[in-house]
Every structure is written in structure tokens, then in C-alpha cells.
Amino acid sequence: MAKRRKKIGLPPGSVIFTGNRKVETAYIHYLQYDSDSFTDQSYDTKNDIIINESPDEKVDWYDIRGLHDTDLITALGKLFQIHPLIQEDVVDIYQRPKFEQYSSGNLFIIRAFHLDKNELKVRTEQVSLFFKTGLVISFQESDTDLFQPIRERIRTSAGRIRNKGADYLVYSLLDNTVDHYYYVLDSIGELIEKVEDDLLEDPDHTIKSRIHNLKKELLIVRKSILSLRESLSQFSKSDSQFIASDTILYIRDLYDHVVQLLDTVENYRDLLNGLQDLYLSEISFKMNKVMQILTIITTIFVPLSFLAGLYGMNFDNMPELHFKYGYFYLLGIMMILFLTLLFFFKKKKWF
């Protein structure tokens, strides 16, 4: 977050990268396709980019990996007439998911999730999609091949994607990203089940921290999904010239999926709250058992201590002190008291 301080005092539209460098060199993966053909190329620098005069039915997709190269982002902005405010949002990686319309094109920002099961951490990455008629530009922080399934569908002409426009490609990219949400939430669900099993079998001091970490990661997911739901709602109601009416139907279906995800998150949060209460109850129960045992021990030794103290007084006139078998009688009485109290507590099932 400290890098955002560089933007203080700068005018709107300043292209300042606010994240950490995740790739050594930014590069571009380019696909052009229609129903009959497709082209697949990669560019290492902005100077290699060739803008083809594509027919209206063709779709150009530029997949940018690495946002630290602000010169590349600015150059792309000039080449494709991308509004400066869009360029600023693309490199500001702390944006919430949102949908915005401009005369030069539309922008959709979504967050991609990756779960680190070892550290119980949800890694997030900002993905920005700029699109207009016949053109889609996707921006990713890292070189994670998030959209490989979509490229494969284009190469093999699977589904309807090759017969649709740029707006449908954007839907496909969003749908692919949301599919990863299901995987992350399923994995979190498995971790919650593991915590529940461990809690019921033998709760230890790590349970509390594991529950806390899972709740914290779910909060991150929940915030992103809430913003995504709002953004998809705006998308589905858009009257933009760059969005076909039949694509809106798919966006509404994606909206329903996000609502389901949000319900799952809420269910997991309730489950974790229940596990936290159960953990506290288990700890309280264990503490009560310890106090119960200590109380029983104290209760047993009170009369024994009384007898020991009574005959430990230094009075001359104590006949029992001169009795030949007084010591053994006292031990016998103490043993009888001990066994009687022990039997009584056992019968009451206090231990």
C-alpha cells in the first residue's frame, strides 16, 4: 500500500503501478480469430505489436502479463485509444471489482483467487478487461496462465466462442475466473471439515488460530464477491454499444453463479462461527473438569488434614497420645474417611 503514496498530488489518469513486480519482463499474448480461422502470436515489447485492420467479424485479444511496465500500458493506451482513467485503474492493483463504460470502450475489473493450502492464504490478483467491438485487452499482474482453458477452446473451436464477438469473449474470461472461485471455496470447505474433525477428536491450541485464519480469508473472498455481484448487475443492465443483447443473457447466468458463491461464503462463515463457539465450549468443559478434580481432591483431604492437625497439637492432656495403638487407629479412621468420600463421589459420577 505504501506505493500508493507516489500518486499523492498527481492528476487523474496518472499511470503509476502500485503493486509488486511479479514477472521479469512484461509480454503480450495475441490471438485473432473468427469462425473459420485464428492467429496465435506473442510479443516481447510494445514495438513488436502489429495492429491489423481486422474485418468486423474477427476478434483481437491481447493478453498482457506484467503491469510494472507502465510504458507498455501507456503505449497500448495510445494504440487503442484507451482512456487515461482506464490506464490508471489497470495499474492500480488495489481496485475493487467494478464495471465502467467509456466512449472508447468498457472496463471490467475482477479479482482472481489462488489458495495456498499450506499457509491457509488466499492469494489475490487483479485482472482487468478492456473491450470494445472486435477488441479485448486483458491485463494480469503475474504470468499465471489463468485463461489457458479459453485459449484452448478458441484453438479447438470448442463451444460457441469462435462464432461470437468480443463481448462474449469477455463473458468467457469472467466465467473462467469465477470457476476458480468454486475451486477455492471447495478447498476452504475441505479445510473447515478438517478443523471440525480435529475439534471433535482432540482440540488443541492450534484450532483457534486455524479458525481465525479461515475467517480472515473468507472475509477477503466475501468482499470481492460482493463487489463482483454489484459489477455484474451493472453489466447485465448496460446499454453499451459494445455489448450484444444475447451476451446479456450469459452475464445474468454468471450473476446467478456469483449469488450462489456468496451464499456458500455466508454458510461457511456461520459454520466457522459455530466451530469457534464449540471450541470455546470444549475449552471451558476441560477447565471445568480440571476444577472438578481439584475440588474433589481438596474435599477428600480436608477431614484428613483436620484429624492430622487435631492430633498434632501440643497439649499434655490428650489421652489418645498415650494409647499404644492410637497411631494405627488414626490411620484406619483416615483411610475409612478417604474410601467413604471416594465411594460417594464415584456414586454421584463426579469423576
Q: Please, which residues have CB within 8 angstroms of residue 185's CB and are 6 or more apart in sequence?
A: 221, 261, 264, 265, 268
Question: What was the pLDDT predicted at 45?
Answer: 62
Per residue in 59-85, pLDDT (tens digit) is: 999 999 999 999 999 999 999 999 999
Cβ–Cβ under 8 Å, residues 272 and 189: no
Residues 17 and 57 in one domain: yes
* DSSP character string of 20-71: ---SSS-EEEEEEE-SS-EEEEEESSGGG-------TT-EEEEEEE-SS-HH
Distance CA 311, CA 317 (A): 12
Residues 179, 45 share a domain: yes
The answer to whether residues 276 and 129 belong to one domain is yes
Which region holds residue 12: left if phi is over 0, alpha if psi is between -120 and 50, else beta? Answer: beta
Reported pTM: 0.82
CATH code assigned at 125: 3.30.460.20
Total domains in the chain come to: 2
Last residue in a domain, options 251, 281, 311: 281
What is the pLDDT at residue 154?
94
At 5 the pLDDT is 59
In the predicted model, residues of the chain with pLDDT beneath 50 are none
Q: Do residue 127 and residue 246 come from a single domain?
A: yes
Return the CATH number at 330.
1.20.58.340
pLDDT score of 176? 97
Q: Point out the domain boundary residue: 229, 255, 281.
A: 281
Count of beta carbons in the 10 Å neighbourhood of residue 55: 8
Cβ distance 194 to 275 under 8 Å? no
CA–CA dist 158, 156 (Å, integer): 5
**Pair (239, 298) in one structural domain:** no
